[in-house]
Structure 1
Amino acid sequence: MNQKKKNSSRRKFIGNSLLSIAGFTSLSSFAFSPPFKTTNPGDIHQVRLGFIGVGQQAMGILNGMMKIPGVQVLACADVDSDKRERFQIRATRLTKENGKDKVEISAYADFNQLLERDDIDAVVIATPDHWHALTAIAACKAGKDIYLEKPLTFTIKEGQELVKAVRANGIVLAVGSQQRSEVNFQHAAHMVQKGKIGKIEKVLVHVGSPEHPKPYDLPAEEIPASLDWKAWLGPLKQIQYNQALAPKISLNPETNEKSWASWRWYKETGGGHMTDWGAHMLDVAQWGIGMDRNGPVKVTPASNDDPLTYEYANGIKILVAPFGDGPQGVRFIGSDGWIQVNRGVFQSSDESLKPTRILPKQDYSHHYGDFITSVISRKDPIVPVEVGHSTCTICTIGNIAEELKRPLVWDPKSETFPDDWEASAKLHYNYENGYKL
């Protein structure tokens, strides 16, 4: 409690200092500016970060966060010693390149040691999905604000418990659903919500194919000396190591990941394209129809020529299937027209529906800035924990329906499958190796 009060007082001081800087502009739902500007670097007080999980995704976030005035990175934690050392080297270099005060970048094998530090205000969590809830809930209890990669959690029960922990501890938690901070996705949601394409009839969502996770079938390989495989597995059942799950890197010569870690594609370790890309595109779909704090009332698995379908109480349907010839995206179809949005792309049935500008693909600086601004102002970010949980939930119940091969009734208010013990059993799984939620 004393530490929580100390962090709160310090953040209030930071907030008051930054909000008084001339030129500071806050972020809004549909218009974004850099989080803060000043001509006097001495006016900026630091928001001090630690990173938990420092694989490929974390390296990109590190680069973006370090460009923000006032952000200082102090430490990292990971179960791979080579990745910890890479992070230290990269963070030290970026500290110098961005003109920040020189600090020693600490590295820990156990993330709990990082959370014990009084001088860290917030953490970036970019672990594999099965570690999201355990690390984030521990961060909540330690009084740290959180930038958490999507999907929010591995199971629905984990998401429910994380929502409680965030609110009980007064934590700012932002989800890495970057499309929320891209002008083309914002504009699409805005046009749909304003009724510019009439009454919404259905929404097509392309998350990638195959959509759903497959059973783990990779051959066993020798575990690298740098990796604590038992710690990587954490609460999961024992599976054999394959470097596709946790890609090896080297430091001399420097060799980084050649592909994204494939744990996301297997049922035992991830949710397939449904949770990996659905956390982006199904998020936008629910946002546009005003259901991003709610959810469907029924989900029907794909059969014959019919795709996976979500039905909402207002009659709108979301269909998960490839459409057109573009990459992952969303197409809103209304009585008076349509809008399609992909990363870096906006298409519509009428030119008047298009935005005046579109942010380049992969520009996430505003999303990171929104989190830092939220830490300072103590206000919810553009993707708060409840929205992240709602999005993660729709993705997961789709996977459950496909696994059970039958329609499911869902109560979005109680977040349960009413009177359905078979589906309810899949809201969580039994943790192994002594771990508890």
Structure 2
Amino acid sequence: ASAARVWGANERVRLGVIGSGGRGQHLMRMAAQAGGCEFVGICDAWDVRRREAMKFAGGTVADYGEYQRLLERKDVDAVIVATLDHTHAPITVVACEAGKDVFVEKPMTSLPEQGAGMLKAQREGKRVVQVGVQQRSLAHFIEAKQRWVDSGRLGKVHMVRTVWNANGGYLTKPPAGMERKPEGLDWDAVLGWLPKIPWDPKRYFNRFAYWDFSTGGQTGGLFVHMVDVVHWYLGLTKARSAVCLGGIYQHNDGRDTPDNVNGIVEYHENLTVTFEATITDLLAAESADITFFGEGGRLSIFRHRARFLPAGGGEAEMLDRSPEVAHMANFLACVKSRKEPNATVYDGHYGAMACHLMNMAYRTRQRVDWRPEWTL
């Protein structure tokens, strides 16, 4: 799609999907709810996932095992990239170079050095790239920021606590009979640029629990959402340093990322952001929240609600949850308007970098400081 193209009022964005597993199919549902688009191509390394997505799309779309073939098509305006973490950056760069707009899942990068190349490809191609940190488009997050942060009521913040416990996605068991790789699954395509290893059903199905597929596990999968809200609300980008501890304390099932983890990221703006995640306690109640401790009060917010407690006492002020579809709707609107989306490559880089710092601190068991080459 040309960046200079003029869209008709009823013209539909033609979407390709790269990575049509559970998350990719969820994003397809979001796009269908948002409206104003149609699916024209599906790509996945496993033919079963392709067929599932094609059924949702209506069954008439073309399907591909290699994403390069999908990107060669001239009738694709934009792509949804919902592959494993380590392929987010390379596929997004190639898609931008092919003239496609991109909705890329979080974390945007799996390595610190990938951010600069992604920003270069996005800017030189004049592409719209939206990162899948959907909080940036949710109505109650936007209203909470305006009502309590931008207004000054929250006041100066020196600590933010983020918690995301009980996420069962880190305990996914392979289906029965997967000891042998399915005939229609291209394992080499799944591995991409990673070292070649034999078929590993645990790694494929419980992907969030492995470093190479998931950017540190619960840091790259969960903290990335929460620290992005902190950056957005408080105008932060690069961190100063990070520390992190934890381990595989309970689920020694082959995973190599911690099932219990605590980290702290410090910023030059005189504040720290903490993160905790455990899959020992799987109770859903009160399991996930972002809490800003301000001089003017305390703001707790996540997908289920927002609550502000004024410092001087008084009634708690509340906002109800809002629909997730708004983030995909923002992307599709920006494909047509060529405006900057709510979650840019720049935002995606710095949110992912907070996770990378924490991951490096966990692996080295040392404090890790920001390096100049990570600044965009």
Deviations 1:219-256 (A, max 9, x none): x921111211111111112334333443xxxxxxxxxx
Trace 1:217-256 onto structure 2 (pairs within 5 A).
Answer: 221-246=179-204
**2-side partners of 1:379 and 1:158: how far apart?**
24
Give the CA deviation at 1:80: 0.6
Kept in 2, the 8 Å contact 1:129–1:153? The answer is yes
| Aligned position for 1:419 | none
Kept in 2, the 8 Å contact 1:66–1:73? The answer is no
- The yes-or-no answer on 1:70 pairing with 2:22 is no
**2-side partners of 1:207 and 1:282: how far apart?**
12
Q: CA RMSD in A?
A: 2.7
Kept in 1, the 8 Å contact 2:160–2:272? The answer is yes
| Aligned position for 1:25 | none
**2-side partners of 1:388 and 1:184: how far apart?**
21
Equivalent residue for 2:329, pick from 369, 373, 379 = 369
| Aligned position for 1:200 | 157
Give the CA deviation at 1:370: 0.2
Q: Percent identity?
A: 27
Equivalent residue for 1:399, pick from 348, 359, 363 = 359
**1-side partners of 2:3 and 2:368: how far apart?**
44
| Aligned position for 2:3 | 8
| Aligned position for 2:290 | 330
SS of the aligned residue for 1:147 comes to: strand
Deviations 1:367-389 (A, max 9, x none): 11100111111111000111011
Change in CA separation of 1:396 and 1:197 when aligned onto 2, cut-off 3 Å:
same
Deviations 1:392-425 (A, max 9, x none): 11111111011111112214x6417xxxxxxxxx
Give the CA deviation at 1:182: 1.7
Change in CA separation of 1:207 and 1:157 when aligned onto 2, cut-off 3 Å:
farther
Give the letter aligned to residue 91 of structure 1: A
Equivalent residue for 1:295, pick from 238, 241, 244 = 238
Give the letter aligned to residue 7 of structure 1: S
Higher strand share: 2
| Aligned position for 1:354 | 317
SS of the aligned residue for 1:268 comes to: helix
- The yes-or-no answer on 1:136 pairing with 2:95 is no
| Aligned position for 2:250 | none
| Aligned position for 1:97 | none
Tell me whether 107-116 or 343-352 shows the greater mean CA deviation: 343-352
Give the CA deviation at 1:353: 6.7
Kept in 2, the 8 Å contact 1:205–1:285? The answer is no
TM-score normalized by structure 1?
0.73
Kept in 2, the 8 Å contact 1:208–1:277? The answer is no
Change in CA separation of 1:130 and 1:266 when aligned onto 2, cut-off 3 Å:
same
- The yes-or-no answer on 1:390 pairing with 2:353 is no
| Aligned position for 1:28 | none
Trace 1:166-315 onto structure 2 (pairs within 5 A).
Answer: 166-190=122-146, 191-208=148-165, 221-246=179-204, 261-270=205-214, 271-291=216-236, 294-302=237-245, 307-315=262-270
Change in CA separation of 1:107 and 1:325 when aligned onto 2, cut-off 3 Å:
closer
Deviations 1:324-379 (A, max 9, x none): 96122210001221011122122221477735x4234xx32111110011111111
Kept in 2, the 8 Å contact 1:77–1:114? The answer is yes
- The yes-or-no answer on 1:343 pairing with 2:303 is yes
- The yes-or-no answer on 1:415 pairing with 2:359 is no
Deviations 1:267-308 (A, max 9, x none): 2322211010112111112222210xx2211212349xx952
SS of the aligned residue for 1:341 comes to: strand
Give the letter aligned to residue 240 of structure 2: V
Give the letter aligned to residue 188 of structure 2: K
SS of the aligned residue for 1:297 comes to: strand
- Segments of 5+ residues of structure 1 without an aligned counterpart are 1-5, 19-43, 94-103, 214-219, 247-260, 417-437
Kept in 2, the 8 Å contact 1:298–1:409? The answer is yes
Give the letter aligned to residue 299 of structure 1: A
Give the letter aligned to residue 54 of structure 1: S
**2-side partners of 1:387 and 1:238: how far apart?**
32
Kept in 2, the 8 Å contact 1:193–1:290? The answer is no
Rg larger for: 1
**2-side partners of 1:325 and 1:199: how far apart?**
29
Kept in 1, the 8 Å contact 2:34–2:326? The answer is no
**2-side partners of 1:308 and 1:130: how far apart?**
22
| Aligned position for 2:249 | none
Change in CA separation of 1:70 and 1:317 when aligned onto 2, cut-off 3 Å:
same
Give the letter aligned to residue 183 of structure 1: A
**2-side partners of 1:328 and 1:286: how far apart?**
18
Give the CA deviation at 1:120: 0.6
Kept in 2, the 8 Å contact 1:200–1:316? The answer is yes
Deviations 1:29-72 (A, max 9, x none): xxxxxxxxxxxxxxx01210100010001111111212334211
Runs of 4+ aligned structure 1 residues displaced above 6 Å come to none
Give the letter aligned to residue 149 of structure 1: E
Trace 1:23-172 onto structure 2 (pairs within 5 A).
Answer: 44-92=10-58, 104-172=60-128
**2-side partners of 1:60 and 1:235: how far apart?**
26
Kept in 2, the 8 Å contact 1:203–1:318? The answer is yes
TM-score normalized by structure 2?
0.85
**1-side partners of 2:320 and 2:304: how far apart?**
7
Give the letter aligned to residue 213 of structure 2: T
Kept in 1, the 8 Å contact 2:31–2:37? The answer is yes
Tell me whether 320-329 or 374-383 shows the greater mean CA deviation: 320-329
Tell me whether 309-318 or 323-332 shows the greater mean CA deviation: 323-332
